[in-house]
Structure 1
């Protein structure tokens, strides 16, 4: 496949999957339940953090998280009383448990109270063509307050050779403005050109079959390789191809 044929093929798949129908089966439906900017950010962040495994289970457990916060995530983060955190203790999805959930609520409160919110923290260390240093620094800020040590594993560090799939997915949701009603485009201060593909087993396997990824592991080095190829196809909006790679893998068994 020539570069032009590859681009035409993937652009066609982006058109096919980047539309409101995609929302019905994807965790992005959780932040779409809200209209307040901060509610969308917090709902998106929390549901992206548990986004591994069965998608139906991810969605169900994300809804459960919202229920536990009275379906007002920002208000809960900012003004909860200690006794209200007790109801989060029994939450569990895979390795993310109630203790982790409570640590996350406290960390988010710190970010909104003392760092001007999630967007401001991610903006701070943004580089010209990468959000990876920004994610690394975000993790430091997130865990600067007292927290359970085990909770740190739930935020990946790209500078520790992680593909940081879930954080990259969250950033796609917040930053990318697709005018198709899927991604939000809420964060105007960060350029979509800096985003990275949320690399997982599906997108990785499809990318290898298409010859745009050679590395076997889905790690930071693989992500850098894939990013380079996707930026050649569209330097302004490289991460739109997540729809194509994911759709081909999940819906078409490519």
Structure 2
């Protein structure tokens, strides 16, 4: 395919997969359960954090996280007691366990009490990014703030750092949910202070393999350098909304075995 044909093909696949039916089988359904901004962003952050492995299990365990917080995540974050956190000890999703969950709740409370909330933290440091249109340094700075209170060292592995050459798939997906202005109703777009043009594709094995077959990506590893390479190509296709193509790449890989 020439560049024009490739863009037309991917634009068609975006239309095919970027629709409300996508929500039914995706963890983005978790933040859609809520209407209050803080509930949406906390529910989204926690469910994105455990978004690796079997998708049905991700969704099941994300619902369990919400249940353990009384389906009121912001209220739980802000007013929990140590006894409340003990309830979380039974939770486990792959390597994310109850101690990690409790640590995340404490860090989220710290961010809302002392740093103005999740959107405020991610809005910082954009202009100092790898490119001027990048949220990757923002993610790096977010991780530093998130773990500036006492925590177990092991918990740090659950938030990736793009400046350590990680593709940071899960947190880039979370930012897509919160920032992308989606007229199809999948991404929530509740954060208005960050441009969708600054977003990076949630690069994983599916989107990476499809991107390579389409000539959008040469690097073999799904790491930070590969993400920068893919971002550059997607920004050529649509500079204002580059991560809409995540729907095309993911859909072609997961649903079509492209």
Normalising by structure 1, report the TM-score: 0.99
Hey, what's the Cα distance between the residues in 2 that align with 1:230 and 1:181? 21
The secondary structure found in structure 2 opposite 1:218 is: coil
Aligned to 2:190: 186
Aligned to 1:224: 228
Hey, what's the Cα distance between the residues in 1 that align with 2:174 and 2:156? 17
The secondary structure found in structure 2 opposite 1:51 is: coil
RMSD: 0.5
The secondary structure found in structure 2 opposite 1:213 is: coil
Q: Kindly tell me the number of residue pairs found equivalent between the two proteins.
A: 254
Matching of residues 47-58 of structure 1 within 5 Å:
47-58=47-58
Aligned to 2:150: 146
Aligned to 1:100: 100
1:140-189 Cα deviation digits (max 9, x unpaired): 00000011110000000000010000000000000001111100110000
Hey, what's the Cα distance between the residues in 1 that align with 2:2 and 2:140? 36
Query: Which runs of 5 or more residues in structure 2 are unaligned?
Result: none
Answer yes or no: is 1:17 the counterpart of 2:21: no
Aligned to 1:75: 75
Aligned to 2:60: 60
Hey, what's the Cα distance between the residues in 2 that align with 1:67 and 1:48? 16
Matching of residues 24-173 of structure 1 within 5 Å:
24-127=24-127, 128-173=132-177
Query: Which runs of 5 or more residues in structure 1 are unaligned?
Result: none
- Offset at residue 129 of structure 1 (A): 1.2
The secondary structure found in structure 2 opposite 1:89 is: helix
Hey, what's the Cα distance between the residues in 2 that align with 1:181 and 1:129? 24
- Offset at residue 81 of structure 1 (A): 1.3
1:126-149 Cα deviation digits (max 9, x unpaired): 132111111000000000001111
Hey, what's the Cα distance between the residues in 2 that align with 1:138 and 1:116? 12
Aligned to 1:235: 239
- Offset at residue 192 of structure 1 (A): 0.3
1:39-83 Cα deviation digits (max 9, x unpaired): 000000000000000000000000000000000000000001111
Hey, what's the Cα distance between the residues in 1 that align with 2:83 and 2:189? 35
Hey, what's the Cα distance between the residues in 2 that align with 1:27 and 1:149? 27
- Offset at residue 243 of structure 1 (A): 0.2
Hey, what's the Cα distance between the residues in 1 that align with 2:83 and 2:251? 43
1:102-143 Cα deviation digits (max 9, x unpaired): 000000000001111000000011132111111000000000
Hey, what's the Cα distance between the residues in 1 that align with 2:185 and 2:162? 29
Normalising by structure 2, report the TM-score: 0.98
